[in-house]
């Protein structure tokens, strides 16, 4: 359990690392340099990079979740009961 808790933040850290790297590569791809004169073309590319790409990725994630992750009320109740059993067992073990 402690290992699982310790590993909880790893996906978040990986996501932040990838997000930062993708942002830097994206800015490089649209031609950003410190101190440049911002043109309407650059603004359009920047808005695309900042708005459209993340929106499409969120939509893809939502579709994947909606199509492949079927959580019914029965499954949710089953998982809740299993988790409650595990917690009771851990509490009983801790008391001993």
Per-residue pLDDT of the chain (96 residues; tens, 9 = 90+): 678 778 888 888 998 999 889 888 988 988 888 888 989 999 999 998 888 888 998 999 999 998 988 888 999 999 999 999 999 998 888 776
pTM of the model: 0.53
The runs of H, that is alpha helices, within the chain are: 2-6, 10-29, 40-47, 53-68, 73-95
């Amino acid at each position: 359990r402690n290992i699982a808790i310790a590993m909880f933040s790893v996906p978040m850290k990986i996501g932040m690392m990838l997000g930062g790297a993708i942002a830097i590569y994206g800015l490089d791809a649209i031609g950003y340099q410190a101190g440049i004169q911002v043109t309407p073309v650059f603004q359009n590319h920047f808005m695309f990079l900042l708005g459209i790409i993340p929106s499409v990725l969120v939509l893809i994630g939502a579709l994947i979740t909606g199509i492949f992750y079927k959580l019914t009320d029965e499954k949710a109740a089953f998982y809740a009961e299993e988790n409650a059993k595990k917690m009771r067992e851990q509490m009983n073990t801790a008391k001993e």
